[in-house]
Amino acid sequence: MSAAYEDKLKPRRREKDVETRREEILDTATELFAEHGFSDAMTQELANRLGIGKGTIYRCFPSKRDLFLAAADRVMQMMSAQVEAYIAGVEDGLQRIARAILAFLTFFAEHPEYVELLIQERAQFKDRTRPTYIEHRQAHGMKWRQVYAGLTIDGRFREISPQQISDVIGNLIYGTMFSNYFAGQAKPVAEQARDILDVVFRGILTDAERARLADVDLLDGAPPLPRVAKSTGVRAADGGRAKS
């Protein structure tokens, strides 16, 4: 191999080495953030675990905030890649939805540290108007809305807004993911996915009841909910009781 050809390959090798190092940093940083939280995941500990200098980390990520947000973004990219791989080659719209729900729930059930990362992001970076998981959800929403619209055109879905379908299914699977993390997984994810599909696709009403409620708004005429007063933080005591 000529020296000129070697010189041509060097930039590519350096680029590959940088990308490999970046992935190693993100992988270990995710573990640290999940274990200790954002405030306690010290850059020095990350460097120690990887056996590198802090300067190497700063060359890839200028700040701990940048590192954290990159780790959260990587989690969602990995989730999306798993979903896409699981539905690859599946043509039927309903089966694509079913498999995507199962892949989503499985991904986070197998990696609870990723859920912790998403929770911490919301707690630490309240200045961000849209958390990472919301950004990814919106970025991939159009593709799924097209699936829902296609099923409607084919007469397999009733006439309903694809956005409404997307919102409801998205809220169900994200709610299940967070519930599994906080309360523990009550049943295998495959059963949870089947429960969601059963309720969403088949509904809970009988045919007769659906027909009876076809043009009924069950919330029509409902009174406004009372407002809950904000706590003042003052505890009632003998000298501070409200006068009757």
Tell the burial category of 217 from Cβ atoms under 10 Å away from its Cβ (0-12, 13-18, 19+).
Answer: exposed
Q: What is the pLDDT of residue 243?
A: 46
Task: Supply the DSSP string of 10-41, one letter for each residue.
Answer: HHHHHHHHHHHHHHHHHHHHHHHHHHHHHHH-
**Among 116, 114, 200, CA closest to 160:** 200
Alpha-carbon distance of 133 to 211, in angstroms, equals 38
pLDDT score of 230: 76
Separation between Cα atoms, residue 141 and residue 135, nearest integer Å: 10
CA distance 116 to 53: 27
Per-residue pLDDT of the chain (244 residues; tens, 9 = 90+): 555 544 444 455 555 588 899 999 999 999 999 888 886 667 889 999 999 999 999 999 999 999 999 999 999 999 999 999 999 999 999 999 999 999 999 999 999 999 999 999 988 888 888 899 889 988 889 999 999 999 999 999 999 999 999 999 999 999 999 999 999 998 999 999 999 999 999 999 999 999 999 999 999 999 999 988 876 655 544 444 444 4
96 with 83: CB under 8 angstroms?
no
Taking the C-alpha atoms of residue 75 and residue 69, their distance in angstroms, rounded to an integer, is: 10
For residue 94, the tally of other CB atoms under 10 A from its CB is: 14
Dihedral over alpha carbons 88, 94, 100, 102 (to 10 degrees): -120
Total Cβ atoms within 10 A of residue 128: 13
Domain boundaries, the chain: 14-124+131-209
Tokens 């000298």 locate to: 239
Q: What's this model's pTM, rounded to 2 decimal places?
A: 0.83
Tokens of 6: 């070697």
Compute the distance between CA of residue 110 and CA of residue 92 in angstroms, rounded to an integer.
27
Report the topology of domain 14-124+131-209.
Tetracycline Repressor; domain 2 (1.10.357)
Those residues whose C-beta lies under 8 Å from the C-beta of residue 111, and which sit 6 or more positions away, are 75
- Identity at 46, one-letter amino acid code: L
Q: Which of 107, 108, 86 is nearest to 97 (CA)?
A: 86
